[in-house]
Structure 1
Amino acid sequence: MGHYVTLSAGETQTLAALEQQERSFKRGSVIRREQDDARDLFIVRKGWLYSSVLLGNGSRQIMRLHFPGDLLGVSSLAFGDSADSIIAVTDVSICPFDRELLAALFQDHPRLAALVFTLAVAERVALADRLASIGRTSARARVASLICEVFARLRIMEGAHLSELILPITQEDIGDATGLTAVHVNRMMRGLVEDGLIERSGSAIRLIDEHRLAQEANFINRFAKIDTSWLPAAA
């Protein structure tokens, strides 16, 4: 949140109170399953996770990747049960907290409440972008869009200079996020390398021509320019 606004001392203290019960999980751990009780929310301190749903035919759809700094569980606030499963992609550290603490945050810090709402809306718009991409763009554009999204979101915490990273998700994971098979994902990734848009070495990916990559993906960075001008004053 400090990326978008200058936090007051009171806001910083309130946010820190949400991260007092840090827990660690190994790669592959199920943090919460679909239809589990959804009282807790989670702040990611370390590692990657994804949220997914299991479809009637047994296939999996990865809805969202989650990185350090993310707030998980907001999508289940309207329900008593979890709307999705949350899985650790890598070893992770997360901080669970009861949603009643979020209610207290909303009451005592209206600016933080408005920012949580704004970021949740931005996330939903980004999810709608991916839905449109899966439904109406080529396989290559879907893979390119996911790569652009990962870099754009990680730059919030790691800085605008980020141009290379280790991608811990498998080609099957990418396929489950983009509606493709692992074989098709591999073919699209090779094409992006051959055309000089990215470089790959094992699980490392480096951006070579980000502008062309974003053009091919029709990618819009929904988190680059969040409008905070309307937020109420800090309490």
Structure 2
Amino acid sequence: MVSCLAERLSHYVRLTEAESLSLTQLEDQERSVRRGAVIIRENEGPRELYIVRSGWLHSSGVLGNGSRQILRFHFKGDILGLPLLAFADSPETVTAVTDAVLSPFSRERLAQIIADHPRLGALILGLSVAERVALADRLASIGRTSARARVGSLICEIVARMRRLGAVGNGGYVQLPLTQEDIGDATGLTSVHVNRMMRVLVEDGIIERNGGNQFRLLDEKRLVAESNFVDRTGLETGWLPEAR
């Protein structure tokens, strides 16, 4: 079995056999979940973290007025539940957007990997920081940009992450199994507004939609500029400790 986390980390460094083996052992269990399943619930103390082997999920929080704010979408190779390294109870809810396959593991097993392989721990820390910076970008976008820029920035983010995963299909098409409500909850917009923005982006020749759940960027440079998007999928790795 190939470790999805190892595959993701190998985009940044060449893993040693020992590092790869440790990550593969971390994914020695699989759990299938159905679309809509809640994996981690806000304000509860789950005992497990997870690595995504397939499918889409998202982290979200419930605001004081009962509305939902989606914070992060999760794809293959992502770690779910990292906030549990800092808090006893989860500050967010993790939900499956599609059917998904996850590998559960304990905090103690992750701690052992970090002790045995400090470079892996440092790399996971770097990825976690990059995710938080990407979240800060989105929050700034929600607070200070137009509806078109918010939707455009989210589209650019998804494309950048799919490209890093090698998940951009023939002709440049990317899967988008998100409802308009999902996109709205990630950008602070209503479903009606999301529908309008997506339609305008199509009419302006910036994106092309192929059915209900695929799209491709026709003018990425323009959308990046309009949305003030910064690709946060790259990492600075020069500071990492040597592999053991």
TM-score by length of 1: 0.96
Q: 2:222 aligns with which of 188, 212, 229?
A: 212
Given residue 78 of structure 1, which amino acid in structure 2 is its aligned partner? A
Q: State the shift of 1:36 in Å.
A: 1.7
CA distance in 1, matches of 2:16, 2:186: 37
1:160 to partner: Cα distance: 7.1
Runs of 5+ unmatched residues, structure 2: 1-8
**Secondary structure in 2 aligned to 1:180?**
coil
Question: Does the 8 A contact of 1:171 with 1:185 survive in 2?
Answer: yes
Task: Indicate yes or no: 2:159 matched with 1:151.
Answer: yes
**Structure 2 residue identity aligned to 1:17:** Q
Flag the 1:187–1:210 CA change in 2: closer, same or farther, 3 A: same
Q: Give the conservation status (yes or no) of the 8 Å contact 2:42–2:61.
A: yes
Corresponding letter in the other structure for 2:158 = V
Q: CA deviation at 1:105?
A: 1.1
Aligned partners of 1:38 and 1:77 also within 8 Å: no
Residue in 1 aligned with 2:232? 222
Quickly say closer, same or farther: Cα 1:159–1:182, change in 2 above 3 A.
Answer: closer
2:177 is matched with 168
Report the AA paired with residue 223 of structure 2.
L
Question: RMSD value over aligned CA atoms?
Answer: 1.2
Is the 1:52–1:61 Cα contact (8 Å) retained in structure 2? yes
Give the CA deviation at 1:110: 0.7
TM superposition shift of 1:51: 0.6
Deviation, 1:127, is 0.5
Q: Secondary structure at the match of 2:95?
A: strand
- Looking at structure 2, the residues matched to 222 and 160 of structure 1 have their Cα atoms a distance apart, in angstroms, of 18
Q: Percent identity?
A: 61
The one-character-per-residue Cα deviations of 1:78-122 (angstroms, maximum 9, x if unpaired) are: 111111111000000000100111111111101001101111111
User: Is it true that 1:191 corresponds to 2:200 in the alignment?
Assistant: yes
Report the AA paired with residue 123 of structure 2: L
2:132 equivalent to 1:124: yes
- Residue 232 of structure 2 aligns with an amino acid whose one-letter code is R
Pairing of 1:1-16 with structure 2 (within 5 A) = 1-16=9-24
Separation in structure 2 between the aligned mates of residue 210 and residue 189 of structure 1, nearest angstrom: 15
Which deviates more from structure 2 when the two are superposed, residues 194-203 or residues 4-13?
194-203
Q: 1 CA distance for matches of 2:214 and 2:40? A: 29
Structure 1 segments of 4+ aligned residues over 3 angstroms from their partners = 159-162
Report how many residues are paired: 234
